[in-house]
Chains A and B, each alone.
Chain A
Amino acid sequence: MSPLPFAKSQPYTMGVELELQLLNRRNYNLATDAVDLLAAIEPAALKEQIKLEITQGMIELNSSIHQNADTLIEELKQLRDAIVTGARRLNIDVAGGGAHPFQKWSEQRITPQERFHFLQDRYGYLAKTFTVFGQHIHIGVESGDDAIYLAHGFARFVPHFIALSAASPHYQGIDTAFDSARSNVVSAFPLSGTLPLLHHWNEFEVYYEELKHAEIIASMKDFYWDIRPKPEYGTVEIRVCDTPLTLEHAAMLAGYAQLLARWLITERPIEIDENFYTLYQYNRFEASRFGLHGAIAVPPARDAKRHAVRMPIQLDILERLQDLQGYAESDIDRFVLRRLSRMTYERLNDAVWLRQTFDERGSLNEMARLAATLWMEETTSPFFR
């Protein structure tokens, strides 16, 4: 029997997890109501899709499996409405964004659950600094081998996802100069980074078993990689996105991942060799720091005998979106490509909106309040209303 069976799922289906901020309505600092909010969710069946997170100012919303971005948006709206109704009872607000702009990590409270207490014991203060808010995108694949290839393939486009989703310019009360300060927080964990350079699922199983045997990990949950296979779901999970400020934006990112997966699995255009991850950290930094203004080192095309070249992230995304036109199967796919193209061309990620709002209103509290209003009352990004 396989030590880590990979559940087969329908290829290119998608689902998302959104980690959300709970804010008190007095000063818009992080609230501590996650447990009470979960208890207040109605109908009770939706509680299955809403989860507690490591600290009590966070809550996670999980979609079910979708073929397209439009049904995903509809489901997210339904979940959003349930959360908002519960939140209003408790007099708290809910917001997207990758990091709360001025919370103090030391003031965060660990959620009273065994796993979270274990993480606090294991990681010390890092557990509380993990109060950051990401969007995880799951893409279904047919086999473990496909999952390994796709996980590596997605890594090439990690800067795209970071730059497009960046929504954490402020952290611990200051403008960090990063578009996505959240990206730096995860890097502190010992099992963060990238999947090892393995090519087949059975190699991965051996690796997994070794780590488990050495008691370095207990389960797949202990890997904090940017992209990781999720064998129990039969998916590959992209974990580098900040939670966007609006639901539609989250669905657009999932739609992009879906189209990329179709292309990557169908054409296998990327060679995963020993140099594949050489410039990964540099590219990741550029996207986190400069967002859609960054420039990444792009590897040479297959078989080409030349070195990597620096290319603006904006241009790299636009080229990819153009190429993916051939993989768009529906109107919503084409809408995803159009929307992301415009977002990229005009460099309109959420970090821009947050900085603009702070400049206009002059306070991080007020910025947090307006971000919450956006998440609770709007579906479309403010740049596209």
Chain B
Amino acid sequence: MPWNFPIPSVTLPIPWNPLILFGTLLISGLLGAQLIARISWIPRISGYLLIGFILGSGGLNWLTGDMADVMRIFADIAVALTVYQLGRYVDLAWLVRERWLLLNIVLSALLTFGLTWYLLERFGISRSTAMLTGIFAIGTSPAIVMAVMRDLRAEGHITRRLAAMSALNNFIALLAAYVLLPALASEKSATALTLISHTAYSLGGSFLLAYCTYLLMMPLARWLGRQRTQQFVLVIAILTITLGAAHALHLPVLLTMLAFAILSRNLDHRYDLMELEFGIVGELFIVLMFVSFGASMQLRHWSSIAIPVLLVVAARCVAIGTTTFALARPARLSWKQAAWFSIGSLPLTESGFGLIQISAVYPNTTAEFVPFIVGSLFVLEILGPIATQFALIKSGECGHV
């Protein structure tokens, strides 16, 4: 009787598939971080950004197709987790007592917006573009702040202020973007009523979704009890569902996540929801998130946008520094603490999420100001992690000391 050995047909060399690519990406990120870690003043996440940049559209352009899709899903969840963790630093009762911090956050947002707008308009950029660039220059990067805080095991007065600042100035920037866009937009394809409706839908919808998520989560958290493992899975599950729902409903994801985190921190009076540390699993998300951010960094048209980008970066630095130092004494911060707080706040929010969603409705408008934001991001994603790490180490709140 003939006997056939089932030999699978294998094509050599093995074709790349998403799983191989995914693993390769993780290893690349780790290697990048390991190389960067030899320089003590550069944080690990800069290594992930560097690898992302080399592999992404600004470099070898390998992160396309399936790979890009897989990576985006992980990066989306990672950003949601980061924003959730950061939003839970916003303790409204504390901000009522610590009004100088609240004032610092609001004034630095207004000054960043105003100064960016003024400088760019003086440089010859149209008013609406200058104003929109100003809005997107407000937010401090939640991802960088949280990742550096986590890496350094930072804990203390400046760390808490920095986290609250990052959560709230992003909140302000997103609100401002959705409120002002209808007035500033240069869309020929949409009527003013359509644009205003879009704003009302986006803001109302994201708050409603955040509240519904909170209502869904709390009974489940109470039912599961204060079991760390179960609550960890619950948070990941709820955040993923909310993320999917926000995408499906075309609602601003960052705003929804921030609103949900702030609600869950301030309405849960019995503290049924445990504060979760994401540990080793969190590291996986962080690698992919920063590789993904790195992949979106671009150096195109640098000669034409260099000066506006430098103006945006300068406006942001001056606005945050001036406000913080002006309010340092009433807020009872020492000059050194004011300096560390200002430097730590410098990284600019990766606006990928917000911009992609906004550009679906405002394609022409976003096309005008996005190059300045992407350029500013390039500068501040290189400098930002270093600045935040430096500030937290100098503030004495780093756990490694």
Contacts and interface: CB of A to CB of B under 8 A. Distances in A.
Given A24-B155, A40-B332, A91 B94 contact: yes
Nearest to A34: B156
B226 interface: yes
A25 B271 CA distance: 11
Contact of B274 (A88, A109, A112, A363): A363
B226 A362 contact: yes
Of B91, B156, B397, B399, which is in contact with the most chain A CB atoms at under 10 Å from its CB?
B156
A33 B160 CA distance: 11
B18 interface: no
Nearest to B95: A91
Contact of A89 (B98, B399, B401): B98
A366 B153 CA distance: 22
A107 interface: yes
Interface residues of A, number: 24
A348 B276 CA distance: 33
B88 interface: yes
Nearest to B265: A26
A32 interface: yes
B97 interface: yes
A176 interface: no
B275 A109 contact: no
B89 interface: yes
A33 B88 CA distance: 19
A32 to B, nearest CB: 5
A33 B332 contact: no
B122 interface: no
A36 interface: yes
B275 A91 contact: no
Interface string B255-290: 000000000000000010011010000000000000
Interface of B: 88-89, 91, 94, 97-98, 153, 155-157, 160, 225-227, 271, 274-275, 277, 332, 396-397, 399, 401
Given A26-B88, A27-B277, A32-B155, 7 more contacts: A32-B397, A35-B396, A36-B156, A88-B97, A112-B396, A362-B226, A366-B226
Contacts of A39: 332
A31 B155 contact: yes
Given A26-B89, A32-B397, A365-B274, A90 B226 contact: no
Contacts of B88: 26
A26 B275 contact: yes
A182 interface: no
A109 B98 CA distance: 26
A36 B337 CA distance: 11
A244 B87 CA distance: 34
B401 A109 contact: yes
A89 B156 contact: no
Interface in A282-312: none
B155 A91 contact: no
A361 interface: yes
B275 A107 contact: no
Nearest to A366: B271
B226 A365 contact: yes
A350 B225 CA distance: 24
Given A32-B156, A33-B157, A91-B91, A27 B225 contact: no
A365 B275 contact: yes
Given A107-B153, A362-B226, A91 B160 contact: yes
